[in-house]
């Protein structure tokens, strides 16, 4: 669903005029739609049909506890990559027994915390990590449920920074090496093998790489069965890509059906989990910003906005496209020009959108779309900029779910030493 649409000439978030929100909380401001989060999660859940499954939201995409709580209430599981994310899930009312814990360098403290909380699976990313999990499990007197994250060496044809399933990536272990890790796990006193985990990358807009990866995982499961290693679960990693501009990703239904068909063809009935982040939260959020100044030099027109790369890093980091649209139509006579939409941060790369045709004046509001995933979570305080306020909309209601930081918050943990 598209929760951000124009009504009566002004952009609404569900049934709330965006301007009503920014009049109270200011800009830059992240706005999320509860209905859009819910409908995207439910579409995945439904697409599995009767197949035993768990849809685990990838917390790294959007970790606001109100967002997590919205999904937890639907019965969502969660994919976490740090003890901090697990704490957030618990604070949000999520069920730790529906949590999968990934990440290449889990600390002893994080592993102990995860075991005490009773997570569903710790996803092992190296033989050394398996040894660490075994030793922590002995220490805390628990048996650790684990999956081994394998690297199927499939090219997901996405941005190199978000490709994870190639042999050259730091994630997971190769198919071949995983055989040894599973044997090591089987022999360990405090380890229980749950399954195989695999994640090949993010913002993938074709089904083929997912199916290729699953076929390789299936052949691994068969080899493991011959070695007397019983696999009880498959964790198939993140979801499909979303529309930022002109991409044509599959629907949840097409995506899941392709995976279920691949399993059925191999006569595999195992329960599966999937860890979508972007395709649940991405188009459920916008970043609203005000045009601070218009400026031109000999080469370019600039619309300088009050949001910057520290608020939304994706354009600077990946050259990612985010659609930028006016919140209200331009005043009569406002000229249409091609602008670079830039932020106030002192970096040439602080560009939120290049060469955008806009009719804007200073003081106008702009919406930066598809910002609900990897937006706020990747934001920083660079240039001592307080992070943006976050708002959740529910039909005609809205509430602040994270206050704008105050400048004093940013140096509250610092000390002046009188040397």
Query: Is 278 a residue that touches ligand LLP (CB under 6 A)?
Result: yes
How many residues belong to the site for ligand LLP (CB under 6 A)? 21
Among 239, 249, 315, 326, interactor with ligand LLP by CB under 6 A: 239
| Closest separation in Å from C-beta 363 to ligand LLP | 30
Per DSSP, what are the bridge partners of residue 79?
Answer: 58, 100
Distance CA 314, CA 360 (A): 23
Distance CA 331, CA 361 (A): 8
| Closest separation in Å from C-beta 21 to ligand LLP | 24
Query: Is 238 a residue that touches ligand LLP (CB under 6 A)?
Result: yes
Residue 96 or 201 having the CB closest to ligand LLP = 201
State which residue has the least CB distance to ligand LLP.
238
Residues sharing a CB contact under 8 Å with residue 63, sequence separation 6 or more, in sequence order: 85, 88, 377
SS3 letters across 154-196: CCCCCCHHHECCCCCCCCCEEHHHHHHHHHHHHHCCCEEEEEE
Query: Is 285 a residue that touches ligand LLP (CB under 6 A)?
Result: no
Q: Is 346 annotated as catalytic?
A: yes
SS3 255: helix
Query: Is 92 a residue that touches ligand LLP (CB under 6 A)?
Result: no
Question: Alpha carbon of 267 to those of 207, 218, 235, 241, 260: distances in Å?
Answer: 20, 10, 17, 28, 10
Query: Is 152 a residue that touches ligand LLP (CB under 6 A)?
Result: no
Binders of ligand LLP among residues 20 to 79 (CB under 6 A) are 58, 61, 79
DSSP code of 287?
A: E
Of 27-35, 40-48, 91-99, 236-244, which part binds ligand LLP (CB under 6 A)?
236-244
Query: Is 249 a residue that touches ligand LLP (CB under 6 A)?
Result: no
Residue 102 or 316 having the CB closest to ligand LLP = 102
DSSP code of 324?
A: E
Binders of ligand LLP among residues 312 to 341 (CB under 6 A) are 314, 318
28 upstream amide cis, omega within 30 of 0: yes
Catalytic residue among 29, 56, 198, 346: 346
Binders of ligand LLP among residues 174 to 233 (CB under 6 A) are 199, 202-203
Among 134, 151, 279, 379, interactor with ligand LLP by CB under 6 A: 279
Of 38-46, 274-282, 379-387, 407-415, which part binds ligand LLP (CB under 6 A)?
274-282
Question: Alpha carbon of 177 to those of 147, 167, 169, 336, 338: distances in Å?
Answer: 14, 11, 14, 58, 53
Query: Is 162 a residue that touches ligand LLP (CB under 6 A)?
Result: yes
SS3 30: strand
Name the residue among 310, 309, 154 with its Cα closest to residue 219.
154
Using CB under 6 A, list all residues that contact ligand LLP. Answer: 58, 61, 79, 102, 162, 164, 199, 202-203, 237-239, 275-279, 314, 318, 374, 378
Active site residues: 346
């Amino acid at each position: 669903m598209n929760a951000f649409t124009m009504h009566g000439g002004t952009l609404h978030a569900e049934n709330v005029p965006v301007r009503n929100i920014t009049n109270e909380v200011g800009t830059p401001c992240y706005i999320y739609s509860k209905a859009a989060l819910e409908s995207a999660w439910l579409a995945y859940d439904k697409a599995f049909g009767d197949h035993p499954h768990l849809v685990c939201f990838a917390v790294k995409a959007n970790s606001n506890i109100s967002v997590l709580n919205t999904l937890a209430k639907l019965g969502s599981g969660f994919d976490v990559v740090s003890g901090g994310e697990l704490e957030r899930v618990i604070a949000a009312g999520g069920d730790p027994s529906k949590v999968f814990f990934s990440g290449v360098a889990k600390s002893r403290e994080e592993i102990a915390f995860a075991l005490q909380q009773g997570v569903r699976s710790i996803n092992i990313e190296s033989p050394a990590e398996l040894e660490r999990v075994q030793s922590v499990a002995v220490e805390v007197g628990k048996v650790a449920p684990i999956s081994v994250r394998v690297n199927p060496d499939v090219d997901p044809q996405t941005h190199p920074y978000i490709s994870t399933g190639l042999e050259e990536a730091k994630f997971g272990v190769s198919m071949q090496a995983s055989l040894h890790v599973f044997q090591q796990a089987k022999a360990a006193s405090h380890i229980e093998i749950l399954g195989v985990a695999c994640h090949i990358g993010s913002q993938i807009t074709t089904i083929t790489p997912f199916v290729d990866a699953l076929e390789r995982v299936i052949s691994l499961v068969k080899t493991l069965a011959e070695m007397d290693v019983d696999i009880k679960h498959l964790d198939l990693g993140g979801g499909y890509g979303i529309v930022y501009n002109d991409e044509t990703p599959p629907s949840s239904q097409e995506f899941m059906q392709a995976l279920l068909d691949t399993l059925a063809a191999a006569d595999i009935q195992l329960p599966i989990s999937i860890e979508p982040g972007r395709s649940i939260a991405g188009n459920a959020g916008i970043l609203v910003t005000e045009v601070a100044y218009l400026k031109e030099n000999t080469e370019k027109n600039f619309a300088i906005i009050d949001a910057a790369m520290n608020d939304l890093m994706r354009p600077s980091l990946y050259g990612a496209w985010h659609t930028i649209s006016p919140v209200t139509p331009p005043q009569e006579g406002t000229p249409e020009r091609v602008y670079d939409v830039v932020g106030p941060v002192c970096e040439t790369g602080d560009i939120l959108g290049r060469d955008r045709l806009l009719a804007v004046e200073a003081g106008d509001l702009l919406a930066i779309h598809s910002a609900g995933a990897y937006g706020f979570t990747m934001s920083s305080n660079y240039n001592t900029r307080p992070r943006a306020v976050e708002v959740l909309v529910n039909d005609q209601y809205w509430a602040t779910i994270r206050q704008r930081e105050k400048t004093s918050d940013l140096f509250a943990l610092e000390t002046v030493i009188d040397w």
